[in-house]
Amino acid sequence: MPLLHADQSKGPPDNGEKQAKVVYRIPCSCGEGYIGETVRRLEARVKEHRNACQKGALKMSALAEHTWMKHHPIKWVKVSVIDQARTAKELLVKEAIYIQLNPPSLNRNGGLELPRCWMAALKYTRSGPNQRL
């Protein structure tokens, strides 16, 4: 029988911040959210977003622009992994799909441009906005 990982049942609850190659969502207190993807660990990417927000790097981050212009606090503790992918390309496709399926969003654009028929099919087959693909 294989040994269980020591950290399997211990430690803080896993919000996915140690995972890499993820599509994530950073929610604002107003209910809108920013959807992004990273091939690195989520915690590294979130740190960059936080820095941009603290410094007011509005051009670098749509999230920073939103929180500064509207004075909305970002819910950093509610950052979540929406999905994972095996490759960088798959990440981009998934990010674009989630942005399209989860309006309103703070994203400045919808990410990768997807064939319209994909979106029609996805909207038709999914019953809720927060389901995994």
Nearest Cα neighbor of 107 from 116, 117, 115, 97 is 97
Structure tokens at 97: 């799909």
> Is there a contact between 20 and 39 (Cβ–Cβ < 8 Å)?
yes
Residue 58 interacts with Zn ion (CB under 5 A): yes or no: no
Min dist CB 35 to Zn ion, Å, is: 14
Residue 27 interacts with Zn ion (CB under 5 A): yes or no: no
Instruction: State the SS3 of 8-29.
Output: CCCCCCCCCCCCEEEEEEEEEC
Min dist CB 22 to Zn ion, Å, is: 22
Q: What DSSP string describes 71-117?
A: -PPB-GGG-EEEEE-SSHHHHHHHHHHHHHHS-SB--SS-SS---HH
Pick the binder of Zn ion from 41, 50, 72, 75 (CB under 5 A).
72
Residue 75 interacts with Zn ion (CB under 5 A): yes or no: no
**Given the complex with Zn ion, which of 28 and 97 has the nearer CB atom?**
28
Pick the binder of Zn ion from 20, 30, 58, 60 (CB under 5 A).
30
By CB under 5 A, the residues from 91 to 130 that bind Zn ion are: none
Q: By CB under 5 A, name the binding residues for Zn ion.
A: 28, 30, 72
